[in-house]
Chain A
Amino acid sequence: MNAVARSLWLAGSLGVAAGFVAVWHAVSAAGLVSPVFLPPPAAVGRALVNGFTNGDMLANLAATVARVFGGWLLASLLGIVLGVIIGISSRARIYVAPSLEAIRPLPVSALVPIFIGLLGFTEQMVLAVIAFGALWPTLLSTVHGFGAVEPRLYEVCRSLRLGRWEVIRKIALPSAMPDILAGMRVGLTVSLILVVVAEILGSREGVGYSILLAQRSYQAADIFAGIFLLGCVGYASAGLINIAEKRLIYWRR
């Protein structure tokens, strides 16, 4: 498909999205749904502008984004390091990996009350929750990626007399990279959910907590504005991972 056709389709797609917003406006203007639940789109826009110019929306957004990325980076780093340690040794895979697999389905948000009990209503609690929750997908996919390395590559390494560190860096890590990135992508989604849960339960200032406060004071427009902002964070971070994927595993295409 050439560039002109692509931008035409994009314009059409934007038009469809604008159409949905128009329907939303019409429904809200006609009073089909109570404005307590569904504010008109213009009110949401005003709430956003107002939040950024007069309120502390910017500070909230910065705090939430910092938590998401701080926790996620911590989790990814830990996940990759632990994953490499477990993945490179077939003995560790037998002893450790099944236990990790067994914990994986646990909904991490259930751990938030326990983290609060241990760390209190603190910033460390939020970071620990995110780091712990986002750790699993990256860790398990790194272990899996290392286990799935073509065995002949290891044989090649042996005949080239590569050291263990060189094998990891030159062969196993690049070969496991698609798995690792897929795990980190899931970890980012998990981080976004957990930051909201931790902010709400831990009463930490941020976009997630601002949505809760808006709900308590029946400010539907502010709720929608907060949801919109979190959606933007999700969209932007998924885009960043896409770029990283293209650059890091270009040799796959």
Chain B
Amino acid sequence: MRANQPVIAPSRMSQGFDPRNLVLPVVVFAIAEVLALAYVPADSFSLAAPHDVAVELVRHLADGTLMLATAQTLGAALSGLGLGGGLGLVFGVVLGLSPAADRLMSVTVETLRPIPPAALIPLSLLVYGFGLRMELAIIAFTTMWPVLVLTRAAIRETEPGLIEVARVLRLSAWRTATRIVLPGAVPRIFVAFRLAAAISLVVAVTVEVVANPRGLGYGMMLAAQSLHPAISFAFLVWIAIVGWCFNWSLVWLERQFFARRGAE
């Protein structure tokens, strides 16, 4: 990920925990609680006091609503990622290995890639109706592009010295690809999947908020529309927690697999 594709602020999780990190959230929650007690009526349709949100969060965690919704959302995100990431990987390898194919496909790729995934929700709804499939189609379409682009870049930036070694050893094109180019690209392909996984969760929640009656996004939307702000904030807090844990485990996984590269 060093060249070309600038990566936004790498994760700070490696820097360890500092108790001072907690000052701001504690202060914000305290202020919100005081303001809510002072100004938000108990029957407000749009806002809720933090303690009410906490009560609803615990209640929905205890009765399993949140767990079911989380399983639905994460399941859709990960299967969509498998589908879209798999396709992106195949196309990325092909386009990375063959500059001619890459140039010929460039207009097609550059035309389809900028389509915002949310625009596809109505189309997917028309084709598949409500349910898992319409969500999968959109997640797969969205996650395919980053994996394709980053895999292509990873393969193209193989150390030229290694290619020369392969030439000196008279390796065939196939063996060069499978023995030298692909193994060298694996860590960066993993990074591509990590980024795509983060995107998949965002898209899953978006599809659920907009249209699909399942998962965390729908639970949040339903609570907001039935004017239960404490429940919808509880869903929001839970979505934030799930998002954080999801990203954290992806970074952790990457560390486990590629610990040797950590020193770079």
Contacts and interface: CB of A to CB of B under 8 A. Distances in A.
A141 B202 CA distance: 19
B114 A114 contact: no
Dominant secondary structure at the A interface = helix
Nearest to B247: A105
Given A113-B232, A114-B46, A234 B120 contact: no
A118 B216 CA distance: 21
B247 A226 contact: no
Contacts of A9: 103-104, 106
A208 B112 CA distance: 17
A75 interface: no
Nearest to B123: A223
Interface residues of A, number: 69
Interface string B153-164: 000000000000
B64 interface: no
Interface in B90-135: 103-108, 110-112, 114-123, 125-127
Contacts of A16: 104-105, 107-108
A143 B253 CA distance: 26
A99 B28 CA distance: 11
B116 A196 contact: yes
A109 B210 contact: yes
Contact of B206 (A36, A107, A226, A234): A107
Contacts of A212: 122
A129 to B, nearest CB: 11
B77 to A, nearest CB: 10
Contacts of B210: 109, 197, 200-201
A156 interface: no
A183 B217 CA distance: 26
A89 interface: no
Contact of B209 (A141, A197, A207): A197
Given A96-B24, A114-B236, A230 B8 contact: no
A238 B125 CA distance: 27
A20 B104 CA distance: 12
Contact of B233 (A102, A114, A182, A214): A114
A250 interface: no
Contacts of A193: 116-118, 206
B240 A103 contact: yes
A65 to B, nearest CB: 13
A37 interface: yes
A7 to B, nearest CB: 12
Interface residues of B, number: 63
Given A109-B202, A113-B225, A17 B123 contact: no
Interface in A211-235: 211-212, 214-215, 218, 220, 223-224, 226-227, 230-231, 233-235
B149 interface: no
A107 to B, nearest CB: 4
A111 B236 contact: yes
Nearest to A108: B202
A107 B205 contact: yes
A215 B119 contact: no
Nearest to B112: A231
19 contacts: A13-B104, A16-B105, A99-B24, A99-B28, A101-B11, A102-B25, A105-B244, A107-B243, A109-B202, A109-B205, A109-B206, A114-B233, A117-B45, A179-B8, A215-B122, A223-B123, A227-B115, A231-B111, A234-B114
Given A17-B111, A98-B12, A182-B6, 12 more contacts: A12-B103, A13-B107, A106-B236, A107-B201, A109-B118, A110-B209, A114-B224, A144-B8, A182-B7, A200-B121, A208-B119, A211-B123
The 3 closest A-B CB pairs, nearest first, are: A234-B114, A113-B224, A215-B122
Interface of B: 6-12, 18, 20-21, 23-25, 28, 45-47, 103-108, 110-112, 114-123, 125-127, 198, 201-202, 205-206, 209-210, 216-217, 220-221, 224-225, 229, 232-233, 235-236, 239-240, 243-244, 246-247
Interface of A: 9-10, 12-14, 16-17, 20, 36-37, 94-99, 101-103, 105-114, 116-118, 137, 140-141, 143-144, 178-179, 182-183, 186, 189, 192-194, 196-197, 200-201, 207-208, 211-212, 214-215, 218, 220, 223-224, 226-227, 230-231, 233-235, 237-238
